[in-house]
Structure 1
Amino acid sequence: MTSDITVFVNPAAGRGRGARAAPVVTEALRDAGYEVTTVQGRDAATALDGARAAVAAGTGALISVGGDGMAGLALQAVAGTEVPVGLVAVGTGNDFARATGLPVRDPAAAAEAAVGALESGSTRAVDLGRAGDTYFGTVLASGFDSRVNDRGNRMSFPPGRFKYDAAIVAELASFRPIPYRMQLDDGPETEMEATLVAVGNGPSYGGGMRICHEARMDDGLFDITVVGPCSRRTLLRFFPRVYKGTHLTHPVVTVHRAKKVALTAPDVTGYADGEPLGPLPLTAECVPGAVRVLVP
């Protein structure tokens, strides 16, 4: 492995935690004898272009410093290549780092883990989901949760996470079960009503909501969690269980496992790793061992 390492930074991640973490990471790498290049862009597209250029030039590793959005961009750059990705997770959600057992909101520990993995050559092969040309590491969300995201993204007030709390309340007031069509692998298409359908390469989204609690990132399969039609009261009582994964035993929940899933539903946006993919219909496929993650 070359000693040239690329640090891929979102300075705005975690209300500035990315900017504060970057020097910690670069110093740890340089102290270990690595040549470090920093890549960041004025927007996601230019940042991704820079990361892909570094990968094409043969960087020894791409170290993402930021949240799930930055990790997602890093995955686009390294998927299907031999370049490993490291994660210094300092964002709001950090679900991909959490799922791979890496430190969260501890830049020094994450930098130490990355250096240790580089020195020992220790990596873990991890599956990714792919929808069209976009790879995702954790969950493709659709339904109630993605409509909350849609509404929250349109709101300018209140600030921060409070607007998503307000979006949940507003969406609950108008929510009705959604008519879905779902096809697993090459099986028959199923028509159903559902509150949401979550396609999990990893177990969690939204900063630890374990919607696909039993999903494994190295088995070549998705866990697909379907929450059937339910009342607003049931939904409010159901959602706190998602943080521990105990919702899977609720009678409105079914779980399927498949390598490929096609979803169709009206007026529903798909979100992968918290970023909008576009409106359904969408088809997602699990790509086994698509990326190597630096793990100590």
Structure 2
Amino acid sequence: MTSEITLFVNPVAGRGRGARAAQPAAQALRAAGFGVRTVVGEDAADALDRARSAVADGTGALVAVGGDGMVSLALQAVAGTGTPLGVVAVGTGNDFARVNGLPVRDPAAAGTAIAAALRDGRDRALDLGRIGDRWFGTVLASGFDSRVNDRGNRMTWPVGRFRYDLAMVAELAALRPIPFRVTFDDGPEERIDATLIAVGNGSSYGGGMRICADAAMDDGRFDVCVVGPCSRATLLRVFPRVYRGTHTGHPVVTMRRAARVRLDVDPAQDVTGYADGERVGPLPLVAETVPKAVRLLA
């Protein structure tokens, strides 16, 4: 393994924390004797091209500095290559890091932990989800939560988290069950009326919402959370329990497990899928588990 490490940096993550975090992470790696180069793209596509080039050139590791969006982009470069992934989590949600017990918003500690893992040859083989050629680490969301994302992304005011709070209020006003068609593994297609369906490789999304609370990233299967038809009042009662993962005991919630999940709806329903918080596209979508697809420095 080469001693040169590539920092893959999102300079605007966490309102500028990404750019500031790169320096202490790089210092920790250099102090451990590693060479460090930094990749910052002009946009996401350019950044991914540069990260893939670094992997192809034999970098010792690709270290994502940013939030879950940056980790997701890094996964597209390292999945299936054998190049290990490091994470310096300084974004808003940081679900991938939290699920895997990595330092959050402490770039020096993250850099030190990555350097120790590289020095000791220590990493963890994790499963990833794959939708076509798109990899994801945490959760594929569809239904109410993805519609909130859609609406929030269309809004130009207000800025920040409050925009998505307003989007949630608007979607609550329009709340209706969605008639999904779902296939688990090689089973028959099932017609399921649901408020949302979340396919979890990892347990949480949205900054700590443990929607698939018992999901493990090394068991070769997804945990699938199906929230059935419910009133606005019920959804508002269940929602706070998601942060503790206790929502799974509510009668409106059903948990399933599968290595392959196909989600579909009638086109008029206009349901989008989001994986790792990033828009994937409209249903139908097929998510498959790929065991041991990435080596995480941890």
Number of the residue aligned with 2:156: 156
Secondary structure of the 1:186 match is coil
Q: How many residues get paired? A: 295
1:289 maps to 2:292: yes
- One-letter amino acid matched to 1:216: A
Secondary structure of 2:181's match?
strand
C-alpha distance after superposition, 1:93-130 (max 9, x if no partner) = 10011111101111111111111101111100000000
1:111-166 deviations in Å (ceiling 9; x for gaps): 11111101111100000000011000000000000000000000111110000000
Cα distance in 2 for partners of 1:166, 1:84 equals 39
Question: Residue in 2 aligned with 1:54?
Answer: 54
Partner in structure 1 of residue 68 of structure 2? 68
Q: Which runs of 4+ in 1 moved over 4 A?
A: none
Distance 1:175 1:152 in 2: 16
- 1:95 aligned to 2:98? no
TM-aligned CA deviation for residue 78 of structure 1: 0.4
Distance 1:292 1:107 in 2: 20
Query: Does 1:271 find its partner at 2:270?
Result: no
Q: What SS is found at the alignment partner of 1:7?
A: strand
Other structure's SS at 2:186 match: coil
- Flag structure 2 segments of 5+ consecutive residues without an equivalent: none
Amino acid in the other structure paired with 2:221: L
Separation of aligned partners in 2, 1:240 and 1:115: 37
SS of the residue corresponding to residue 80 of structure 1 reads coil
Q: Does 1:239 align with 2:242?
A: no
**C-alpha separation in 1, matches of 2:153 and 2:178:** 21
Q: Which residue of structure 2 lines up, in the alignment, with residue 85 of structure 1?
A: 85
> Which secondary structure does the structure 2 equivalent of 1:209 belong to?
coil
Is the aligned partner of 1:110 residue 2:113? no
Partner amino acid, structure 1, of 2:159 = P
For structure 1, list consecutive stretches of 5 or more residues without a partner in the other structure. none
Residue 206 of structure 2 is aligned to residue 216 of structure 1: no
Aligned residue type for 1:39? V
Provide the C-alpha distance between the structure 2 equivalents of 1:192 and 1:100, rounded to a whole number of angstroms.
32
What percentage of aligned pairs have identical amino acids?
71
Give distance in 2, aligned partners of 1:31 and 1:292.
23
Please state how far the C-alpha of 1:173 moved relative to its aligned partner: 0.4
Letter in 2 for 1:280: L
Tell me the TM-score normalized by structure 1. Answer: 0.99
Structure 1 Cα separation of the partners of residues 54 and 75 of structure 2: 13
Alignment partners' CA distance in 1, 2:235 and 2:8: 39
Once the two structures are superposed, residues 5-59 of structure 1 have per-residue CA deviations (whole angstroms, 9 ceiling, x without a partner) of 1000001000000011001111111121111110010111000000000000000
Distance 2:204 2:26 in 1: 29
State the TM-score, normalizing by the size of structure 2. 0.98
| Correspondence for 1:124 | 124
Structure 2 counterparts to residues 35-50 of structure 1, below 5 A: 35-50=35-50
Deviation, 1:180, is: 0.3
- Structure 1: which amino acid aligns with 2:254? T
Matches within 5 A, 1:135-150: 135-150=135-150
Q: Distance in 1 between matches of 2:70 and 2:183?
A: 31
